[in-house]
Structure 1
Amino acid sequence: MEVIPAGPARRQWSAEAKARIVAASFEPGSNIAEIARTHDLVPQQLYAWRHDSLRAQRLAHEPLNFVPAIVDDPVSSLFSAF
């Protein structure tokens, strides 16, 4: 019996490889389609990586905000009613 795969296996890209490709796409005068073709990607994938990169940069510069938490002790509030 011959097993025919449904399609090409999904590639796993290292964070360094993604960062390098995304950085090249942000260089002045770069062509997204050409960079994607060079790395055997579809342009949509490169645009998604760029979007994720910009979002991560934006989140990295936002200060963390904490919300105060109020802990109510149900046992003591139960006995205080008597």
Structure 2
Amino acid sequence: MEADVEMDVHLDVATPGYVGRLEVVEGPTGRRVRTEGERARIAAEGLVPGAQVAVVARKHGATRSQVYDWRRRLRLGELALPESREPLFAPLLVEEAPSPGLPTKPAKSAPAKFEIVIDGMVIRTAVEVEQLAQLIRAVRASR
């Protein structure tokens, strides 16, 4: 960085007299006046997992210390996000699947009619699914 002796300012560019970006903020003090809602929105953006405070601050023309302060105030309830008309989503709740070691019982159903033929012998019956599964296991075990 070099000093411009005529203007007594430091320029962060290699070419004297050239400013890459210049932002003029109007007003009696030259400072931004943000509403509580704007501060809360910026703070909430800084609280998103993976967000970098420096990037959020730069994006909104604030300092990191301001964003950190607004985040703290948001957590303490001193700042509140304004109500939004944007749709909100309910959190997704996922239940754990039953463990594979425990057998699950099928839903009760009406008895079904089956015909089983074994070595010329015919068995006709109406059984529920659970009873049929037990019968099949018994036949397999008998072989």
| 2:72 is aligned with 1:33 | no
The match for 2:71 among 50, 54, 68 is 50
CA distance in 1, matches of 2:50, 2:41: 16
List runs of 5+ in structure 1 lacking aligned partners: 1-7, 58-82
The Cα of 1:33 is off from its aligned counterpart by 0.3
Aligned twin of 1:10 = 31
CA RMSD for the aligned pairs?
1.5
Q: Which runs of 4+ in 1 moved over 3 A?
A: none
RCO comparison, higher one (Cα < 8 Å, 6+): 1
CA distance in 2, matches of 1:11, 1:26: 22
Q: Percent identity?
A: 32
The Cα of 1:15 is off from its aligned counterpart by 1.7
Q: Which has the larger radius of gyration?
A: 2
List runs of 5+ in structure 2 lacking aligned partners: 1-28, 79-143
CA distance in 2, matches of 1:55, 1:20: 15
State the TM-score, normalizing by the size of structure 2: 0.33
The Cα of 1:54 is off from its aligned counterpart by 1.3
State the TM-score, normalizing by the size of structure 1: 0.54
Higher strand share: 2
SS of structure 1 residue aligned to 2:33: coil
Task: Note the alpha carbon deviations across 1:3-32, whole angstroms, 9 max, x for none.
Answer: xxxxx6221101221111111111110010
Higher helix share: 1
Report how many aligned residue pairs link the two structures: 50
SS of structure 1 residue aligned to 2:77: helix
